[in-house]
Amino acid sequence: MHVVHSHSVPAAFFPPFDVLSPRTQSAPFVFCSPHSGRHYPPEFLALSRLDPKTLRRSEDCFVDLLFQPVAKLGAPLISARFPRAYLDLNREPYELDPELVDEPLPAHANTQSIRVAGGLGTVARIVADGEEIYSDRLSLESVLARIEQLYFPFHAELSRLVATTREAFGYAVLIDCHSMPSSTMAPGGAQRPDVVIGDRFGASADPRLTLLIRDEFQHRGFKVQLNRPYAGGYITEHHGRPARGTHAVQLEINRGLYMNELTFQQSAGYVALEKAIAEIAEHLFEAVPALLDYRAAAE
């Protein structure tokens, strides 16, 4: 299929993703960072009524960098280069907002999802704290171009990584990596946990895997919650098929652990968190085969 790159998608977004691969994949894991893209090209800024700093409130800042060590340890990491405020990969391909587009949407668009209702569809209408991104409505052609040229290539590569991992090891574990604001938007700003692990309430991964990940974080002093307030989005739901040997878990890391959320600078806690993530990954790579390798269990 030949895709014509229309001028509606900035050239800065190509290639749409980076894959950090180990020399030899030795672990049955794939890591994914769909929301850490930080290219905000002039063409996008010209469409937006917001300044770059406000747009970055939707960004999972530095998450791709925090998880980089997994490649040296034996697992690939795929990360998006474009920002979540431009296109959200953790949605169905066509969760589209009728209020955002200047023409009728195609029949296959999902205009009724809770995420679309909240302004956070595949092409978001608002940033994380509720500010409208665009001064004008977008053309349907430009919205579909983002999906064709960025969304589908990213998901094709992610699916390929998961499939080749499952073929090589007999099963695959996808860790979908995100970050969350340090306090809730609720009055009084109740503190959030350090880490939220989502497995769609047991539907997207073997519960033993989820508990193993929880224990690894808790042993290092992190406060962990399961599935609340984040149970896992489209990526976890789409790939998590434990009965078929593909387990998907979403990780949400509290931004207060590693960055200043006002200046978007790494904080003193960054290095310690990166080290903890590397240690946890190493332990998981050692422990998970005994837990999930059905071939080994059957022998």
Query: pLDDT (tens digit, 9 = 90+) per residue, 172-200?
Result: 999 999 999 998 554 566 778 999 999 99
The total domain count for the chain is 1
Q: Is residue 195 part of a domain?
A: yes
Q: Residue 261: which residues within 8 A CB-CB, separation 6 or more?
A: 181, 182, 255
How deeply is 183 buried, as exposed, middle or buried, from its count of CB atoms within 10 A (0-12, 13-18, 19+)?
A: middle
pLDDT, one tens digit per residue, over 225-257 is 999 999 999 999 999 999 999 999 999 999 999
User: CA-to-CA distance for 91 and 119, rounded, in angstroms?
Assistant: 12
Q: Is residue 64 part of a domain?
A: yes
Q: Residue 91: which residues within 8 A CB-CB, separation 6 or more?
A: 115, 120, 121, 122, 233, 234
User: CA-to-CA distance for 243 and 222, rounded, in angstroms?
Assistant: 30
Q: Is residue 159 part of a domain?
A: yes
Q: Which domain holds residue 66?
A: 11-82+150-298
Q: Is residue 19 part of a domain?
A: yes
Q: Is residue 245 part of a domain?
A: yes
**Is residue 299 over pLDDT 50?**
no
Q: Is residue 57 part of a domain?
A: yes
Rounded to 5 degrees, φ, ψ at 144 are: -65, -30
| pTM to 2 decimal places | 0.95
Length of the chain: 299
User: CA-to-CA distance for 31 and 175, rounded, in angstroms?
Assistant: 5
At 252, which CATH number? 3.40.630.40
Q: Is residue 43 part of a domain?
A: yes
